[in-house]
Structure 1
Amino acid sequence: MATISQWVAGARLRTLPIVIAPVVIGTAAAIGPDGRIHWVRALLALAVGLLLQIGVNYSNDYSDGIRGTDEDRVGPMRLTGSGAAAPKHVRNAAFTCFGLAAVFGLLLVVLSSAWPLLLVGVAAIFAAWGYTGGKNPYGYRGWGDVYVFIFFGLVATMGTTYTQINRITEASLIGAIGTGLIGTALLMANNVRDIPTDKPVGKMTLAVRLGDRLARISYVVMVAVSIVLPVLLTNDYPWMWLVLAAFLVAIRPCWLMLREADLARLVPVLKQTGILNMVYALLFSVAVALQYLV
């Protein structure tokens, strides 16, 4: 039976910035001259995102484990693949997270009257399971990166803004694309590390399809574009130039992705990319807030 620490490790907490950052950006993008923020709605959006991400991590652990994909995995431990937990327990943990995400999501929709998001929420849950679960997981065909960009970039960010003010802003759209690219870069870093074990078992991630070198370059391109993109908002938000400071945080992971041949030494890139996403979200939010405070 898996210990609590092993369950926590299986939740892969280093991936959680992928959902925290878009909620922060989406909330900031909804700020107007009155500076009003619906904190309860923001916290509910955060809860939905965290539960979906943890659910995805457990779901991937279960599905990859029963397929044998994780038998020789480099990086964080896997509950199913290592035999620390029974597959059905890991699967049930994933379903529990998805169920709780649905409950919090429904409450958020009711409080914000954002009824169109009901269908989006249902789609997000089915997409989370279908990533590596079921008979034809799209994550095994290279579509996982698209899933991350759409649901943990566009949907998470703009959905948060919509639940705040019932409309989408230009800042929300640009922020969504930016944080979505960083989240996709994080997945790319993870999949580059796993190319040697994914390819033999038929898990054709985008990293496998691109090959090691191009996949590494794509990581750097996504990070660079995400950081430069907010400059488009400087006419309305002059302080958005601050986001360029995120390049200082991006130097180390980009260097590792381009230069480090030892795949095991790419593991820290996940944490570094998560930190980059949080710094990006903070700088973006500060730039929006300063527009109304200075």
Structure 2
Amino acid sequence: MSAQTSNIVEPDKGWRIWWQLTRPHTLTAAFVPVLLGTAMALQYQSINWLMFLAMLVASILIQAATNMFNEYYDYVRGLDNENSIGIGGAIVRNGVKPATVLKLAFTLYGVSVLLGIYICLNSSWWIAVIGIVCMIVAYLYTGGPIPIAYTPFGEVFAGFFMGVVIILISFYIQTGFVNGTSVLVSIPIFILVGAILLSNNIRDLDGDKENGRKTLAILLGREKAIFLLASMFIISYAWIIALILFGVSSPWLLLVFLSSPKAIKATKGFVGKTKPLEMMPAMKATAQTNTIFGFLLSIGIFISNI
């Protein structure tokens, strides 16, 4: 985001401009919670696939719009330039007008609202209230007078809304209720989505500090932030073991441990690194850990419900 490198980044061309603007590597953070919430619902009834698709597309659109708000407001605040790492680059590298990026973000919000209306018509209008809150928080993540992303609370907000809330909505629209098990199973994804944001902030630590941000990584310092990241991975896997030992979930959930090499790679990838470009593989591995962990968790739940 605000971090820089001396390496020149080639501008994207054609459709790639708009594709990169969505920051596609982050979109799995929207896909995984919907898949997991739906998989848990299988224990209680068959899946309404139209509702699943509506929820999935709406979540991805909101995530993409959030990334565009991030692109716009970081540019407006002078945090991004053509050499910044981890951005879509539509404005600073490809010459897209900032207003166009902002309008596109609100357009995606508009489409997600239409999908939300369909979901509410087939479930509950309380979903609309929760959805509006989610969209406001997504906007305020980088918009508003005090962006959430510039505070120590970014990981918590992202993990809670993109993890717990989306999972529970996806579960509710299929079953009509939320139970303790669905809440407990959502916690590891809450942690891992937060880990994605923490890895981003570790990468951008120096640049963010120069621009006056107060992220958790800055407050802790690089070494302690990496230790926290490793702890978040450990807690996520330990949580699954606890769910199995206490009889909440099936041993099939142990499938998530197939994703552990990515978590190890992510942690080791940050150790001893200070340049943003050097840390990109570690950040990518953090996002992949969430994706693979969530996918395997969904498979384990699906198998246990057969």
What is the aligned-residue identity percentage? 27
Residues 141-176 of structure 1: per-residue CA shift (max 9 Å, x gap)? 222212211110111111100111011234421332
In structure 2, relative to structure 1, the CA distance for the partners of 1:83 and 1:202 (3 Å cut) is farther
Could you say which residue in structure 1 is the equivalent of 2:89?
78
Q: Does the aligned pair in 2 maintain the 1:26–1:175 contact within 8 Å?
A: no
8 Å Cα contact 2:22/2:88 also seen in 1: no
The 3 A distance-change label for structure 1 pair 210 and 67 is same
Distance 1:173 1:159 in 2: 11
Contact 1:145 1:184 in 2 (8 A): yes
Query: Whose helix fraction is larger, Structure 1's or Structure 2's?
Result: 1
**Is 1:65 aligned to residue 75 of structure 2?**
yes
Does 2:224 correspond to 1:214? yes
Where do 1:1-294 residues align within 5 Å?
3-32=14-43, 36-71=46-81, 73-82=84-93, 84-111=95-122, 113-234=123-244, 235=247, 236-293=249-306
CA drift of 1:210 comes to 1.8
Hey, which bits of structure 1, 4+ residues long, moved more than 3 A?
Answer: 259-262
Shift of 1:20: 0.8
Which secondary structure state, in structure 2, belongs to the residue aligned with residue 74 of structure 1? coil
In 2, the alpha carbon distance for the partners of 1:155 and 1:78 equals 30
Amino acid at match of 1:194: D
1:49, distance to aligned residue in structure 2 (A)? 0.9
- Alignment check: 8 A CA contact 1:227 1:280 kept: no
Deviations 1:250-285 (A, max 9, x none): 221121123434331211233322322222122212
Stretch moving more, 238-247 or 115-124: 238-247
Q: Considering only aligned residues, what root-mean-square deviation do their CA atoms show, in Å?
A: 2.0
Query: SS of the residue aligned with 1:88?
Result: helix
What letter matches 1:155 in structure 2?
Answer: V
Measure, in 2, the Cα distance between the counterparts of 1:172 and 1:78.
38
Kept in 2, the 8 Å contact 1:260–1:266? The answer is: yes
Shift of residue 240 of structure 1? 2.0
Of stretches 87-96 and 245-254 in structure 1, the one that deviates more from structure 2 is 245-254
TM-score (norm 2): 0.88
2:72 maps to a residue whose letter is Y
Structure 1 partner of 2:6: none
Structure 1 unaligned runs (5+)? Answer: none
Q: How far 1:62 sits from its partner (Å)?
A: 0.1
Q: What SS is found at the alignment partner of 2:86? A: coil
